[in-house]
């Protein structure tokens, strides 16, 4: 799939801004692994650090839902609504549709850990949806979630 702003194939987010509390990582250096989700800088070359902003006393620095840009702008855009976006408190704006090749989470205990992102299954229970079957899609078909065509 190709697009200027595309969903991450792992968590589905189109957000390219790391949370303010994200550990420092040299995004220009290839081969590094994120200590939070385990993604590599090879896969995420379009990320940048969130600007330093004051954090209200009643909010955590990792609470992306507190960001006024995410709440009032991105999630309410027509494109975001078409992708079924929501605000994840960790990664910010993210689609609630799992990628087609994501392992099943049904029947897992709340404490079970996602083998892809290392998130606890209970944190996302009732918030995520399986991706529509695209096994028989023709070449160049448009993804029903992200709205981009396969290359």
Percent of the residues in the chain that have a pLDDT greater than 70, as a whole number = 82
Q: How confident is the model at residue 1 (pLDDT cuts 50, 70, 90)?
A: very low
Residue 5 has pLDDT above 60, yes or no: no
Residue 45 has pLDDT above 60, yes or no: yes
Provide mean pLDDT across the span 10-32: 77
For residue 128, the tally of other CB atoms under 10 A from its CB is 21
Q: How many domains does the chain have?
A: 1
Provide mean pLDDT across the span 41-55: 76
Provide mean pLDDT across the span 103-129: 84
**pLDDT tens digits, 60-100:** 777 777 776 666 677 777 777 777 778 777 777 777 888 77
**The pLDDT value given to residue 69:** 67
The range of the structural domain enclosing residue 144 comes to 1-151
Gap between the Cα atoms of 121 and 114, Å rounded: 6
């Amino acid at each position: 799939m190709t697009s200027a702003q595309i969903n991450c194939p792992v968590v589905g987010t189109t957000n390219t801004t790391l949370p303010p509390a994200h550990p420092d990582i040299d995004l220009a250096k290839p081969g590094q692994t994120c200590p939070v989700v385990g993604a590599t800088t090879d896969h995420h070359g379009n990320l940048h650090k969130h600007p330093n902003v004051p954090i209200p006393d009643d909010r955590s620095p990792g609470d992306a839902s507190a960001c006024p840009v995410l709440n009032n702008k991105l999630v309410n855009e027509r494109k975001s609504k078409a992708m079924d976006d929501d605000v994840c408190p960790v990664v910010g704006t993210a689609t609630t549709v799992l990628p087609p090749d994501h392992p099943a989470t049904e029947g897992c205990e709340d404490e079970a850990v996602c083998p892809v992102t290392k998130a606890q299954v209970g944190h996302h229970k009732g918030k995520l949806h399986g991706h529509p079957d695209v096994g028989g899609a023709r070449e160049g078909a448009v993804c029903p979630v992200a709205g981009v065509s396969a290359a």
